[in-house]
Structure 1
Amino acid sequence: MRSGRVCAALVLAAGLVLAGCSGNTTAPTGSAVLGTASDINPHPRDDIQDGGNLRLATPEIPVNWNTLQIDGNDGDYADIIRFMMPRAYNTDAAGNLTVNHDYFTDVQLTGTNPQVVTYTINPKAVWSDGSPITWTDLAAEANALSGKDTRFLIALSNGFDRVAKVERGVDDRQAVITFDKPYADWRGQFAGNSMLYPKSVTADPDTFNKSLLNGLPLSSGPFQLQSIDRSGGLIVLNRNPKWWGDTPKLDTVTIRVLDRNAWTQAVQNKELDAALLSTVDDLQNLRGVPDVSIRNAPLNRWRYFAFNGAPGSILADAGLRVAISKAIDRRRIAETMQNGLVDKPEPLNSHVFLRGQHGYQDNSLGFDPDAAAKELDALGWVRQGNNRFKDGKKLVIRDVFYNDDTWVQIAKLIQQDLGKIGVELTIDTRPAQRFFTDVIQPGDFDVCQFSLSGDAFVFNSLPQIFGLYPNDLQVNYGRIGSPELNDLIDKTLSELDPEQAIALANQVDRKVFEEGHSLPLLQNEGNYGVRSELANYGSPGLASYDYTSIGFLK
């Protein structure tokens, strides 16, 4: 990954609501593009009070605290866990990378034929029980994510399927990773959303899948998990007494389980210190509120619409999925949902790159309801009145999503579009708790809506989302793919020339549209309501947080 290219390793964000409702009564918050801005009220540590409690919200208590495992692969979980776990790189607002020296003194590409990467671990780095972080922790995680043992229910392979071996370097504080195939995004293997876990979690399938169901007993960050109150819906983090870096300014972080539709009101009522905003109404409600500021920087998060193409499903036919996708007016969705939130609302037209990112281009099939109707006719879905039938079966599809007002508005717009070509869409809302584990992973949907978030490593998400591999679901919940698409993904991951990799990634993107895999909808405008006295926190854009410097001004 070269500096300036952003987004990647996709993780689910069930509770994040990224678009706004219709309206034209307030000015857009800004027109900066992704990778140009960060709005966190930056201040040096000397300006920050020692102590204090940061109050945040989440839709649910994590069902698994291992973000590498399929049940733990949720953006809301990652937002909490990043306070507590190691990552190899920090990023700035432009997506530029620097080694995270709290954990690694150096990370270097030390060979190209074969590709070799050497990680030198900070000699001060320890887990929260005082035991050292060693090369064996990296080796265990690499093995778990390699895909060699399908009992590890991984959320992503992250290039470890291309690793030949992980060896001890000059001492226990150095890991040498040798690849048997080139891997373009090698910097993202213990970075971004792919955090390093201790070998006690990753060494065998049982501990990988089940040992973190009820919390995170062993961590390695400025904060650690103090308590979980499941009945009261409260998570508390406190300072890690074994932390060797700068002392955190905050004493504690309290994360409250709260329905997404109530976050803005909670900020207004001084019950939360910061929250992601979704709608024009959110902005109106918080603008002018004493001691609350609107922070804005475009985020690498976006709304996503996925088809279920598993064998036996009503949408198993790729031609049917493509026809339906052409009937959805994504521009109307953008203009309706983001009017008043961004200067020129438009849909996201790539699965791989975000607008403002080097490599972004429109690879979509376009909005063409007339073509959609003709393709449905050709497939034998004959229109009779307001509906279509084939072999006596009516074409009805269920749209399943986390119960949120904004998602409902989007579903109704899609429902209207599909109704015009005789396709009936029913809306099936579910609670946030165990939404992915119990509903989406098993494939209990015809189409579904959720949000995706990324980090600064664009290519390692390609097999995770779009690859179709036996007994390896990762995040391809619709079970859609092909050998041709797998081959394109493989070529992209193997290409070490940045421009050639971008060209191949755009071929992947076009193929994803052509297979009717999914549709990107809206890119996040990045509005947060934040307590004005809170520093070094807000809308980070592509930048990573310094969790030791977050706090309240003196």
Structure 2
Amino acid sequence: MSHDGVGPRAVMRSVAFLTAGALAVPLLSGCGSADEAGKPLARQDIAPAGRARVAEGGTLRWAVDTVPETFNTFQADADATTTRVAQAVLPAMYRLDAAGRPQRDADYLESAKVVDTEPRQVVLYKLNQQAVWSDGREIGAADFAAQWRALAGKDSAYWTARNAGYDRIEKIERGSNDLEVRVTFKRTYADWRSLFSPLYPKDVMGTPDAFNDGARRKLKVTAGPFALKKVDRKQDEVRLTRNARWWGHPAKLSEIVLTAVPRDERASALAEGKIDLAEIDPAAAQRVDGAAHGTAGPLAGPGSGRTAAKTLRAWALAHGAQEDTDDESDDEAGSGAGLRKAMAKWETQQKALRSFEVRRSLEPAYTQLALNGADGALADERVRRAVARALDRRELAKVVLKPLGLPAEPVGSHLALAGQDAYADSSGALGGQDTAEAQALLADAGWVPGGPVTKQEKGEKAAGSKGKKAGKDDDSADGDGTYVVGEDDKARAGTERGAGRAAEGESARRSGEGGKQLAQEGQQYKQVHQGGAPGAYAPKGTAAPKGTPSPQGTPGPEGTAAPAGVAPAKALAKDGKALSLRFVLPSGPGSEPLAAVAGRITRMLAKVGIGTEITKVSDESYFKDHIASGQYDLALYSWPASAFPATDARPIYAKPVPAADGSLSVEQNYTRVGTDQVDHLFEQAVSTLDQEEQRSLIRKADSRIWAAAGSIPLYQRPQLTAVRKTVVNAGAFGFQTPVYEDMGFLKKGAKASASPSGK
């Protein structure tokens, strides 16, 4: 399962708008000059080539996760492929550059600027005079107005998933000519550049029926370098063809075919010539790299004789070979007709994969450790801060990124990534890894080493010990020796962590004084606590189900003995209950990096006396049944970065409030941790047209989010794309919106420019 959906406006946002209050907000560390944004940690890796070196024509076959249920990006079930299609076939006033910053798209927009601020903010758009829809009609004010009315949130007949920004518009008018559009706001809106990207024709936005159903399965009218030609749901394909009415640089490709291919089948699909480009997981990347160097076979690494035969047989069975009981041999070659056939197929595929290469960058998204502050032990900010201070975030980043040759730097902000305008490392508001400080915070919260445990808890521990003994040789042991509780194996109480060693901290410890200052300042404000791919994404538009009661969040049974090689603190207890946290993870293909990170986290927590119970659940239920509904203590999932954090990040960190039906309204704040201060800073940031002031406010908000310790950013997600070597201007795009008209195949004899990844 993949929860991708990264794009300029990928994360769906809520309607709710919080009125500003008068709070005194002192200047904090991490809120300095613009140069703190720095540069992206890794450059995009797309084999750039000038258009003169790109051949005319050809079909690019591109693997995607799904054929989308809708082509309307403003609906709740829009997904990553919806965004991909919209980027290629629809106008966007602004697109992201390689540093993740919005830039005017000159193919649609000659200029856009604020021309008035009193009594109202007015933005004047001047459109490219050549910009027309595929039916020949000029793009103009009528399209802008129809989209505003559909997304303003006033008409419930429109089934919209987000309307942030559109709800602040007062009116839209034609300017002095047909190429000018005047947008007047009733409330100042700093992120006005986020609007009308994408822009749909009035045919789609003009009526509720057209909005709700007209763009779900087709887009009759488009205005991009490509047009939506055909959707074949039987073949799982979306076919885009060159737009004959496109006025910009003509598309080099004749067609782009988006084909739904499961992530764990992409290496085979590449080898069989079914696709030319696909985002892949680290295991597939290793296989593609291995094909180029003649390594990474099923027997790569140590092992020979009977061990090698068993390894080979396990690989073959995993890749479709049938167990051959009549012709099974235990000799070194691991014979058997099915095994030999699978091996031959693997060799053939490896030869075919030599035509591909892996292009590497970092996604515009980060993986975080989420701490559910609804109730239980993590409702106490001191315990959340102790969890955070126990973590060596640099070490966790290295687990995922170092083997891929990518910069293993921890993320320092919840609201932006390195290179983006609002980025600054504000983690000092919480402080770095410090075992002594973590233990002091736990002691202050009343968690006592070796404290009394109730009879019920002792029974759970005994059951856990039996479970460990019975499961000693069970196949459910994780890669690092940690036994996990499966969705259908709840009876195993406790977890057993086998051999392993504690990660040694490599990052300098931060003092954490800024965090202490923030904690003191925030005491007057009472807090209300009410996917699986590598770093699963929170699905767009996911919200806690209406009527869901406040989760009980009861920690799992202790049963969390420290692994060998770790010198843990003595187990902690309070009020007769051991300190143990339920760590929920997805279990589907590609989730191995998450499991590795979770294993390191459990070891780090054990060193300060915090126990964990890892529970692996199906990808399908991970967000719906656990994250969104609050049935977890710790979890790993990702958020896309936004060029407009004042708008897009607010629902993720907004203070939860009771709804009219008695349930808790959390929007997308699945940690249930929020403060009035953070809400106010977001409101201030979205209401100022001074970009320097907005940047400062965003960084202040981030410092307070760090101090509350509801979520801990860990690392930027890796972006690995297998691409046919002759394909240029495509691959690991990083922050930048793809330039579809420049993609294509190299002319014979031409060479792409050097594009080193991860540098």
Partner of 2:638: 451
Paired AA for residue 81 in structure 1: A
Of 406-415 and 148-157, the range deviating more from structure 2: 148-157
| 1:174 aligns to 2:180 (yes or no) | yes
Map Cα deviations across residues 114-165 of structure 1 (whole Å, 9 max, x no partner): 3211123345434445554332332333344445567766555443343333
Pairing 1:53–2:59 present: yes
Residue among 705, 728, 732 paired with 1:539: 732
Against the structure 1 CA distance between its residues 159 and 517, is the aligned structure 2 distance closer, same or farther, given a 3 Å change threshold? farther
Contact 1:8 1:461 in 2 (8 A): no
Unaligned ranges ≥5, structure 2? 1-6, 13-37, 293-352, 454-557, 561-570, 660-664, 748-759
1:518, CA displacement in angstroms?
2.0
Indicate conservation of the 8 Å contact 1:9/1:460, yes or no.
no
The structure-2 alpha-carbon separation of the partners of 1:507 and 1:254, relative to structure 1 and needing over 3 Å to count, comes to same
- 1:371-428 per-residue CA deviation (whole Å, 9 max, x = no partner) reads 4445445545666564766667774424244732323322333343344433324333
- Report if aligned partners of 2:71, 2:82 keep a CA contact under 8 Å in 1: yes
Q: Distance in 1 between matches of 2:649 and 2:355?
A: 42
Instruction: Determine the structure 1 residue equivalent to 2:47.
Output: 41
CA contact (8 A) 2:413 2:425 kept: yes
Residue matched to 1:482: 675
Give the whole-Å Cα distance in 2 for the aligned partners of 1:145 and 1:388: 51
- Residue pair 2:226, 2:240 contacting (<8 A) in 1 also: yes
How far apart are residue 516 of structure 1 and its match?
A: 2.9
Deviates more, 1:445-454 or 1:173-182: 445-454
SS in 2 for 1:226: strand
Matched, 1:362 2:422: no
- Contact 1:9–1:454, Cα closer than 8 Å, also in 2: no
Distance 1:439 1:294 in 2: 34
Local SS of the residue matching 2:354: coil
Which residue in 1 is equivalent to 2:356?
Answer: 292
Q: Check conservation: 1:105, 1:121, Cα contact below 8 A.
A: yes
Contact 2:108 2:127 in 1 (8 A): yes
Partner Cα separation in structure 2 for residue 265 and residue 483 of structure 1: 51
Q: Which of the pair has more CA radius of gyration?
A: 2
Distance 1:477 1:47 in 2: 48
2:425 partner letter: D
Q: Which moved more, 1:503-512 or 1:344-353?
A: 344-353
* Shift in alpha-carbon separation, 1:355–1:246, aligned structure 2, 3 A: closer
Report the AA paired with residue 614 of structure 2.
T
Return closer, same or farther for 1:369/1:546 CA change in 2, 3 Å cut-off.
same
For 1:128 and 1:447, the matched residues in 2 are separated by: 49
Is residue 689 of structure 2 the alignment partner of residue 515 of structure 1? no
CA distance in 2, matches of 1:392, 1:180: 56
Rate the CA distance shift 1:145–1:426 in 2: closer, same or farther, 3 A.
farther
| Kept in 2: contact 1:35–1:541 (CA 8 A) | no
**What is the aligned partner in structure 2 of residue 397 from structure 1?**
582
1:501 equivalent to 2:723? Answer no
How far is 1:336 from its partner?
A: 1.4
Is 1:426 the counterpart of 2:617? The answer is no
Match of 1:20 in 2: none
CA contact (8 A) 1:121 1:173 kept: yes
> Is the counterpart of residue 301 in structure 1 residue 365 in structure 2?
yes
SS of 1:93 mapped into structure 2: coil
1:11 counterpart letter in structure 2: V
Which structure carries more relative contact order (alpha carbon 8 Å, separation 6+)?
Answer: 1
Unaligned residue ranges in structure 1 (runs of 5+): 1-6, 13-31
**Larger helix percent:** 2
Q: CA deviation digits over 1:311-333, x for unaligned, max 9?
A: x7885555544443333432221
Separation in 1, partners of 2:106, 2:176: 19
Q: Specify the SS of the correspondent of 1:56.
A: strand
Query: How big is the shift at 1:338?
Result: 1.4
Equivalent of 1:136 in 132, 135, 142: 142
Cα distance in 2 between the residues matched to 1:280 and 1:146: 45
Task: Indicate the residue corresponding to 1:253 in structure 2.
Answer: 256
The secondary structure found in structure 2 opposite 1:428 is strand
Please name the residue that 1:3 is paired with: none
Q: Hey, what does 1:100 align to over in structure 2?
A: 105
Partners of 1:141 and 1:197 within 8 A in 2? yes
| SS of residue matched to 2:603 | helix
The question of 1:197 aligning with 2:390 is answered no
Evaluate the alpha carbon distance shift between residue 35 and residue 210 of structure 1 in structure 2; reply closer, same or farther with a 3 A threshold. farther
Superposition RMSD in Å? 3.8
CA distance in 2, matches of 1:437, 1:62: 19
Alignment of 1:49-448 (within 5 A): 49-72=55-78, 74-75=79-80, 77-94=82-99, 98-113=103-118, 114-147=120-153, 156-171=162-177, 173-191=179-197, 195-202=198-205, 208=211, 212-214=215-217, 216=219, 218-279=221-282, 282-283=285-286, 285-286=288-289, 288=292, 290-309=354-373, 318-342=381-405, 345-357=408-420, 359-364=422-427, 365=430, 366-379=432-445, 386=560, 395-401=580-586, 403=588, 404=590, 405-420=592-607, 421-431=609-619, 441=628, 445-448=632-635
Contact 1:400 1:428 in 2 (8 A): yes
**Secondary structure at 1:108's aligned position in 2?**
strand
Contact 1:71/1:437 (8 A) holds in 2: no
Structure 1 window deviating more from structure 2 (493-502 vs 317-326): it is 317-326
AA partner of residue 600 (structure 2): L
Helix, strand or coil for the counterpart of 1:399? strand
TM-score by length of 1: 0.80
CA distance in 2 between counterparts of 1:162 and 1:307 reads: 33
CA shift, 1:535, in A, is: 1.9
Give the equivalent residue in structure 2 for 1:21: none
Quick check: 435-444 or 116-125, which moved more?
435-444
Cα pair distance change 1:94/1:153, threshold 3 Å: same
Q: Is the 2:389–2:438 contact (alpha carbons within 8 Å) kept by the matching residues of 1? A: yes
Q: How far apart in 2 are the matches of 1:122 and 1:85? A: 14
The secondary structure found in structure 1 opposite 2:88 is coil
TM-score (normalizing by structure 2): 0.60
Question: Aligned letter for 1:397?
Answer: R
Aligned mates of 2:152, 2:361 — CA distance in 1 = 35
Distance 1:477 1:81, change over 3 A: farther
AA aligned opposite 1:518: S
- The structure richer in strand per residue is 1
Q: CA separation of 1:146/1:260 partners in 2, compared to 1, >3 Å: closer, same or farther?
A: same
Higher deviation after alignment, 404-413 or 375-384: 375-384
Of the three residues 463, 474, 479, the one matched with 2:650 is 463
Q: What letter matches 1:222 in structure 2?
A: P
Given that 1:65 and 1:81 are in contact with CA atoms closer than 8 Å, whether structure 2 keeps it comes out as yes
What SS is found at the alignment partner of 2:147? helix
Q: Counterparts of 1:277 and 1:412 in 2: how far apart (Å)?
A: 23
Cα deviation, 1:233-258, whole Å, max 9, x if unaligned, reads: 33332334554444322222222223
Q: Structure 1 residues 359, 71: closer, same or farther in 2, change over 3 A?
A: same
SS at structure 1 position matched to 2:116: strand
Q: Say which is worse superposed, 531-540 or 280-289, in terms of deviation.
A: 280-289
Whole-Å separation in 2 of the counterparts to 1:478 and 1:402: 21
Structure 2 distance, partners of 1:473, 1:149, is: 23
Is the 8 Å Cα contact of residues 585 and 594 (structure 2) preserved in structure 1? no
